[in-house]
Amino acid sequence: MVQMIRCNWINQGGAIMSRQFDQYMEDKFEYQGELKSLIEPTSFPELVSALSVRDTLQAIIDFALREEDTSGYEELKERQNDYIQEYLNSIGDFDNRILISNIAFLAKSNGIRLGELEKMLGISAGYISRTAKENTGKRLSVDVVWKIARFFNVGIDDLVNRNLQIPSETSTLLCRFVAKLLSQTITDEIEWGCEGGYICDCSPLLLSLPIFLMEDDGTVVYHPEHMNQNYKWELAGDVYSCDTISEGQKLVIIAFQSEDVKGCFYDFIFCTRNEDGTYSWKRAFHTNDPFSPLDERAADLYAQISKKLDAVRIAPDIRSIVQAYLH
């Protein structure tokens, strides 16, 4: 009786181990002494590996002897094909509506009509509109998409795949940054200085930066690298700076405009004084981002700075004396 129970236990244990081995060997096969596995790709590198596994299985089938049973390899190859197809299906189809919506949004935000955009880029009239119609198989060519992305200074991937009307994490972060600058400006926690360029004379900082050029009539022309270089950009007001945001650097806000484009734009740059008295600069960010309220926040900050600098200013200790006397 004990012997029978022991034999039954061994048989059951062997069956369990056999099932575990079968499960382990599922989706696996041996090739040239090496154990290989089928791959369920979740990325392009894994897709390349999966295609290689499929080709290996096909090679085994092709070079097998006539009397050899290759049904197991054929089954594995079909399963590998299914894994590959599942990954390809997960990529999805191109959504033309996002691209067209982004182009229309960018054009409108910059005061440019689609017809005018087509003319400037050398595109046939109505080409963009025709690809925007529903149930049409027409799509913008790659070179046109590339031109439009370069024209509006946006990434091709953003233009094609991201809804630009939804603020990005970066835009949200910068909005918070400008909002804090505004709050601290209102409460006099930070102070701004005027570098001139519009009403006031140009400071040494402005005169040393290559992005500013004074014309014969005194107009200061600004050269923003991220804007359309075919337009002439001029200062819309004096340039302001604050040296308490980052140690050893000045945060500079530049308001500029063009007769060719509606609205006012704002650039933020950091300037560092060199040993020879000149300044070097680095762009922090710009606000002509039609995907966020950053432009409005910058306009509020600029207006508040102007208001503060136009007002009569007194030192905090003098203010305390005046207030004490009034009370």
What is the band of 17 on the pLDDT scale with cuts at 50, 70, 90? very low
Residue 16 has pLDDT above 60, yes or no: no
Give per-residue pLDDT as tens, 312-324.
666 667 778 888 8
Which DSSP string corresponds to 160-180? Answer: HHS-TTSPPHHHHHHHHHHHH
For residues 293 and 298, give the distance between their C-alpha atoms in angstroms, rounded to a whole number.
Answer: 9
Burial class for 53, CB neighbours closer than 10 Å (0-12, 13-18, 19+): buried
Per-residue pLDDT, 52: 93
Query: Which domains does the chain show, CATH number per domain?
Result: 2-91 (no CATH), 96-161 (1.10.260.40), 169-317 (no CATH)
Q: What is the mean pLDDT of the chain?
A: 84
Span 117-146, average pLDDT = 81
Q: Which of 100, 225, 118 lies closest to 164, judged by CA? A: 100
- Residue pointed to by tokens 């809804």: 163
Residue 269 has pLDDT above 70, yes or no: yes
Residue 2 has pLDDT above 50, yes or no: no
Ranges 77-81, 158-162, 186-190: which has the least confidence: 158-162
Distances (CA, A) of 57 to 52, 73, 86, 305: 9, 6, 19, 71
> Which helix or strand (DSSP H or E) is residue 243 part of?
strand 239-246
- Residue pointed to by tokens 């000149």: 278
Per-residue pLDDT, 134: 63
For residues 230 and 23, give the distance between their C-alpha atoms in angstroms, rounded to a whole number.
Answer: 67
More confidently predicted of 109 and 280: 280
Span 115-141, average pLDDT = 80
Q: What angle do CA 275, 277, 280 make, to 5 degrees?
A: 80
Cα of 87 vs its chain's centroid, Å: 25
> Which helix or strand (DSSP H or E) is residue 283 part of?
strand 279-286
> Nearest 5°: phi and psi at 35?
-80, 120
For residues 255 and 263, give the distance between their C-alpha atoms in angstroms, rounded to a whole number.
Answer: 10
More confidently predicted of 243 and 287: 243
Span 138-167, average pLDDT = 83
